[in-house]
Structure 1
């Protein structure tokens, strides 16, 4: 008990620092990785770091103080108060775990208003005439700056995501002139290859700003935004889109909109200088006690950890696409020019998104007999089937040919829709392949039904066709991804998706269990696979013969000329339709989960 009483506060502060270091290192990883382990660690560290630091600050208010001139234990314990304030300001890489944290920005302001007097009271309460007290001031300044930057960033994201200010043509013209002035200046110098890609990405981001609800889909910004897109290769188009989404992620979830300003840089330098001043002062005042007093050793290690965290963040600060944009106005300086050349070359090689696509094959799911050890336990609570959905999903690397076909078809759709809302999900493709009359029925039904029957038909055609082609593989890849999105109905914002899915799962599983796996394709291509009627069906699925419709569609597709060109184009159209009509909140959520190809499509088609 005596050990806990003497070291409990120090333990809480140490744990708070460890969680903050984890967030500083892994916080930015979630935009390029969908790994569950990383997401879990960040999910746990984000609230625990704040909770433990707040708890430590609370215990500091009740600690017994010794104001003896000879004793320095009080100074060491109370120095933890401003240090805890610094830890309560989140790392640069993660100011908000989710969009909801941005909406609670004003609550963080209230927390600061409450926390600040407590820290001041702890310092005043322990005040005594000692030279060691000077360590409080630089640490206190650094803590106020760190916490203030977090609130500033949260408020900035909240203010932009709720801004409904009307947009005028003058706003667009002003931003356009600024962009082309910088671009012209850069082209005249011709000293940094590929820098134009960064400007194009920032232009897409700055003109449309997908996180600004007031400017989203505004006609003034859509008219000119994609004009030069034809000059880029599909790989460059995806790279530009990834950069655009990176800027958006930075605004929504990090301190980027604060740090990459003159005031932000100035505050960061002041904060870092104050931390170095605290560390240097501590080493000078307690140098003779380093190897003798465990409190001194602990405090020295803690300060080293804080300084190392800030050093890491400072280095990461200059390794960003934001820097490439912000320092372009200073290219006349040879040192800046060399640094920019190095930065562009390095930046082009770094990973920006997960570049993976989630897959869920409905027929394989129905036929799968794999069951994890805890499946029977979940079955008792009615969660087995839902868990199995998530358990059997998989992800694949997005091949280059898929990106090429996506960009090719999206450019065609962009011309067809002429900047109007994306309301078509296959009519343009059917019309181009002269199949509108015989297949229009399959895309005029509700979107969830259409996805299911096209998914089953694509599966049947894929495994019954032995000729390989990029269109065939792309069709299968997007088909399985659209089915993955359907089993996550909140992404597609389909109110009937869950009911439609369960109806199809029940019918399909009952039907497939009657046959051996090797005969499934033959049965699905048979004249009439049949389907039992159920008087207890939901109203929205009553009378829907999913097997018959999927069989009819598969037969029609197999008899169509250029089958896989048509199927791949239909699936791209469905993906674009889903991306355009997906809620912006869901796109923002996907950004912090490694990204998704549906968000890329949305950024391209806005």
Structure 2
């Protein structure tokens, strides 16, 4: 009897539960989907994925339930509930379109846009069938008009999702970017590369002094605000790096200049904005790429004109008003409440989506994942019973990944180390094509040679994944050894980079370097276990005790642990007080080496699950004019002798300078030029709004900065492209 009552209740409430459940999922996605860019718990990320996948399934099931109800002729009730349910059909179509904050959960979802179009066409057809079959000629005309208006909105929203997936697919992004075609023949490529390097060297030598730390926006002049804004916009656009595109040399030089003239704070913030915008381009409907390679956002993108913008906001209000004025007494009270709830909440979600488009967030997570070999062994010994159960259930790897070591939040500090390394490279190491390539290929050699550690260069000449294991264990041995008093900041950052590289080797070896072997971690782990054979399970439960055990071995066996102990002893005995500086520099070079060899597609894919810090480094190196993965795959073959190539490049630079001097005789020599086409990064609305400011400043087209008594002038934007202070985003 109870079962039959439950079935009767479900038969009556089934559709209401489905539509309200669909609405709840849309609310969850609207409020939490954008949090994927920040540091959230794995369980929260799982619920976002479940809502993304289950939302479409629940909506389709609700439409199928409506379809089946209309096929049952005996379902027509006297209170007209089947008529009011027709208003729920277009609302379900709106839900099927999903919120603006998430169009794809994984990058593979974008490639399935054809399947989503087929699903959309099918569901729209079902919705129209239900509408035509269920509506009677005697029904309220106001409800009919409300349903038609909602259908227009629902079909429009329903088709936006597959179209957004198509626009964010890999080939579509590549096609939508505007590419510059270099005007040169194949035999002149090496000269063009040399010319780019010589121009870059001239620029960095002229601007050796690091820009001052950011000052409050209110203390900057309009020109300084405009200059900073221009450089930030140039670097924060969704980068072609993520589609494995090799920038032409003039574009590389422009990016290098923009990055070089930004201070530390603006550099890091710009990288965060760039990653955030790339995420929005691939995984949401907040961005698209226009023909000029600018990522547009806000109402300008979603609503091409004010009329369309107003229609987008006002169209849902009309059905709500029509439903208010209809003869609601003919329907069940619970159905009226459900309808009001659906209409109002769905409309509020649309308004919040529009406001989100206008005031989008550009934050990015500063989380850096960590994984440590010795800490994993110590943790397993402390929780031996739990790990035994996990191994029996085949989930020990999951516990090792998520519970052995907490992430760190030193993204900004490590990024500044990479920035300093890149700047030192341009100032002190890069002189020509050969040195430009050697700098990109170094993975610790330069740091060891610079500090007189030629005796341990062997540790960086073995396969890269083996070097990672070796230096990782050696770093921990130095960190926990007795008698060592390292600089806390330097030691902390060195160990965090070491743990992050080990994380890449264990969980994402393809990003670390194609061909890296994940099983090396297991091999090294078993070596450590072999050292502890015969010891009491309750002893050696922390990293300090394990390190002392490793150093106390009388006859170490062959393997990673033996080599790591030799390396650590060499560092502690011979390098002395400079030990942590050497270790830090080696890890920075290894980090940059890995970043320059990771495909852009893998970076874009990692953004979907929170991103990898390696994307920060890759983006910084790309902006700094260094080689990326795509550029390395297309290295030019050097045929000319070095001296001749450098001579030809310098002659062409002088010819271009003379030509520019002839075109603009008022430009002093040594002035840094900024291409006028870069001004496209400034919104057109901003240019129009600040025309008055430009007229006031047309008499002062340059700004100067004193550097060691030397005045360096930087040409700012032409007056017709100036930016009003209202359009400057202060931090």
Give TM class, smaller chain. Answer: 0.7 to 0.9
Shift of 1:42: 0.4
Answer yes or no: is 1:549 the counterpart of 2:563.
Answer: yes
Contact 2:107 2:608 in 1 (8 A): no
For structure 1, the 5+ residue unaligned runs are 172-185, 322-350, 532-543
Determine whether 1:154 maps to 2:165. Answer: yes
Deviations 1:100-158 (A, max 9, x none): 01111121112222222222222222233331211111211111221222222211111
In the aligned structure 1, how far is the partner of 2:118 from the partner of 2:76?
A: 36
Tell me the distance in 2 between the aligned counterparts of 1:155 and 1:224. Answer: 31
What is the alpha-carbon distance in structure 1 between the residues aligned to residue 397 and residue 38 of structure 2? 29
SS at match of 1:582: coil
* 2:94 alignment partner in structure 1: 86
Match of 2:320 among 279, 283, 286: 279
The answer to whether the Cα contact below 8 Å between 1:34 and 1:593 also exists between their aligned partners in 2 is no
Cα deviation code 1:300-351 (max 9, x no counterpart): 1111111121122122122126xxxxxxxxxxxxxxxxxxxxxxxxxxxxx7
Conserved? CA contact 2:238–2:277, under 8 Å: no
Give SS of 1:21's match: helix
Q: 1:274 to 1:29 in 2, by over 3 A?
A: same
Mapped partners of 2:78, 2:224: distance in 1? 64
Inter-partner Cα distance in structure 2 for 1:297 and 1:18 = 16
Map of 2:621 onto structure 1: 605
What is the match of residue 363 of structure 1? 374
Shift of 1:92: 0.7
Aligned residue pairs, count = 547
Does residue 1:505 correspond to 2:525, yes or no?
Answer: yes
Match of 1:569 among 582, 585, 588: 585
Matched, 1:300 2:340: yes
Which sections of structure 2, spanning at least 5 residues, go unmatched? Answer: 1-6, 184-216, 289-296, 623-731
- Which segment is superposed worse, 484-493 or 382-391? 382-391
1:134 alignment partner in structure 2: 145
On the 8 A contact 1:32/1:595 being kept in 2, the answer is no
Cα separation, 1, equivalents of 2:42 and 2:177: 38
Do the aligned partners of 1:475 and 1:568 also contact (CA within 8 Å) in 2? Answer: yes
Q: Aligned residue for 2:600?
A: 584
TM-score relative to the length of structure 1: 0.82
Secondary structure of 1:232's aligned partner: coil
Whether the 8 Å CA contact 1:471–1:564 is kept in 2: the answer is yes
Give the conservation status (yes or no) of the 8 Å contact 2:231–2:259. Answer: no
| Preserved CA contact (<8 Å) 1:30 1:39 | yes
Moved more, 160-169 or 303-312: 160-169
Q: C-alpha separation between the residues in 2 aligned to 1:8 and 1:522?
A: 66
Q: Which residue of the other structure, out of 560, 563, 579, is the alignment partner of 2:575? A: 560
Cα displacement (A) at 1:67: 11
Asked if the contact 1:459–1:476 (Cα under 8 Å) also holds between the matched residues in 2, the reply is yes
1:388–1:26: structure 2 CA closer, same or farther, 3 Å change rule? same
Whole-angstrom CA distance in 2 between matches of 1:602 and 1:475: 19
| Alpha-carbon distance change, 527 to 374 in structure 1, aligned in 2, over 3 angstroms | closer
Deviates more, 1:442-451 or 1:70-79: 70-79
- Once superposed, what is the RMSD of the aligned Cα atoms? 3.2
Secondary structure of residue in 2 paired with 1:598 = helix
Match of 2:23 among 14, 17, 22: 17
Question: What's the CA shift string for 1:563-598, capped at 9, x where partnerless?
Answer: 211111111111112222223333223323333321
User: Per the alignment, do residues 263 and 593 of structure 1 end up closer, same or farther by CA in structure 2, a change over 3 Å counting?
Assistant: closer
Q: CA deviation at 1:72?
A: 3.5
Please report the TM-score for the alignment, with normalisation by the length of structure 2: 0.69
Query: In the alignment, which residue of structure 2 is the partner of 1:7?
Result: 13
Which of 441, 444, 459 matches 1:426? 444
Structure 1's 200 and 152: CA in aligned 2 closer, same or farther, altered over 3 A?
A: farther
Map 1:396-415 onto structure 2 (within 5 A).
396-398=408-410, 401-413=413-425
Residue 109 of structure 1 corresponds to which residue in structure 2?
117
